[in-house]
């Protein structure tokens, strides 16, 4: 198949998660912190799609996130391609059809992305980085606690979209058991 429908489904579900995250953050502004739950956007595309379809999905999603967030343009796209390529190279090691490995990968991707974006948004030197980072440590903990609930739901939602739209529901290359 030249074009995989799953890449459009993944892009649409990633845009939905980004929109929900922005809605939640706009509704909890009185609390004084923001949730950062971009980790699940990085995971299912490299685990389920071929390399060319993963690349298209990551570019579309990365540009969408870069345009929606007040960060330097291209950072999330570059992080999506880097983290996704690493996952794509070792995807035979992960069980994509269960939720444990994708959720663990989502936490790792969320932490790497959050620290990178925080460092770039503060514009601080490496020596001054830990002073404002300690103030947003609470945001990081709460975001990862929310990610414990949101990530399995999101991965099941994406898999159910595959079955609803009658596409291939298993990854491209399942590991041999």
- 108-118 per-position pLDDT tens digit: 999 999 888 87
Say yes or no to pLDDT of 34 above 70: yes
Q: Over the stretch 66-78, which tens digit does the pLDDT of each residue have? A: 999 888 899 999 9
Cα separation, 133 vs 130, whole angstroms = 5
Query: CA-CA distance, 73 to 161, in Å (whole number)?
Result: 30
Q: Which of 22, 1, 6 is nearest to 171 (CA)?
A: 6
Question: 91 and 46 in contact (C-beta within 8 Å)?
Answer: yes
Q: Which one, of 63, 37, 57, 55, lies nearest residue 154 by Cα?
A: 37
State residue 7's pLDDT score: 93
Place of tokens 């345009």: 67
Q: Would you state the pLDDT for residue 140? A: 86
pLDDT category at 20 given cuts 50, 70, 90 is: very high
Q: How many CA atoms, within 13 angstroms, populate the side-chain half-sphere of residue 116?
A: 18
Q: What does the DSSP assignment read for 81-103?
A: HHHHHHHHHTGGGS-TTSSHHHH
Q: How far apart are the first and last CA of the chain?
A: 27
134-158 mean pLDDT? 89
pLDDT reading at 143 higher than 60: yes
Lookup: tokens for 49: 């799609």
Q: For residues 33 and 173, what is the distance between their CA atoms, to the nearest angstrom?
A: 40
Residue 131 is predicted with a pLDDT of 59
Q: Domain segments of the chain: what residues?
A: 5-24+32-164
pLDDT at 31 (0 to 100): 84
Give the pLDDT score at 132: 60
């Amino acid at each position: 198949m030249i074009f995989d429908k799953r890449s459009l489904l993944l892009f649409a579900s990633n845009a939905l998660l980004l929109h929900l995250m922005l809605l939640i953050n706009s509704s909890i502004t009185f609390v004084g912190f923001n949730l950062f739950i971009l980790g699940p956007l990085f995971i299912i595309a490299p685990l389920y799609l071929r390399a060319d379809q993963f690349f298209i999905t990551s570019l579309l999603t990365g540009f969408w996130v870069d345009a929606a967030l007040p960060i330097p343009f291209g950072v999330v796209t570059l992080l999506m391609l880097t983290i996704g390529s690493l996952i794509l190279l070792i995807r035979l090691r992960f069980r994509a059809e269960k939720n444990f490995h994708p959720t663990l990968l989502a936490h790792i991707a969320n932490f790497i992305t959050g620290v990178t974006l925080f460092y770039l948004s503060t514009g601080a030197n490496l020596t001054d980085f830990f002073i404002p980072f300690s103030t947003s440590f609470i945001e990081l903990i709460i975001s990862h606690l929310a990610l414990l609930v949101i990530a399995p739901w999101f991965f099941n939602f994406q898999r159910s979209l595959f079955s609803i739209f009658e596409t291939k529901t298993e990854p491209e290359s399942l590991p041999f058991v």
